[in-house]
Amino acid sequence: MKRVAHAHQGETLDALLYRVYGKTAEITEKALKLNPHLVEQGPVLKEGTPVTLPPPPEARETMKQPIQLWS
């Protein structure tokens, strides 16, 4: 099942992806591959433009060891 979001007025692809995912790293390129027609619109998407969303990025484990604030 494809997941689709629609652009708000004056929204860029990065802003739309940030609104949906809370970040854009590693997502923007995937979204452009799924939506090559967006390149023709320029940086600001037309209001209501449907954007097929890539699957959410997998969460990475950022902390290897716990941090101790007090010893």
Domain assignment of residue 48, yes or no? yes
The C-alpha R_g of the chain, in whole angstroms, comes to 16
Does residue 67 lie in a domain region? no
- Name the amino acid, one letter, at 20: V
CA dist., res. 39 & res. 56, Å (int): 22
Q: 35: number of CA atoms within 13 Å, CB side?
A: 26
pLDDT in tens, 14-68: 999 999 999 999 899 999 999 999 999 999 999 999 999 999 887 555 546 677 7
Q: Return the pLDDT at 45.
A: 97
Helix (H, G, I), strand (E, B) or coil at 4: strand
Containing structural domain, residue 9:
3-53
Dist CA 45 CA 64 (whole Å): 40
Residue 35 lies in a domain: yes
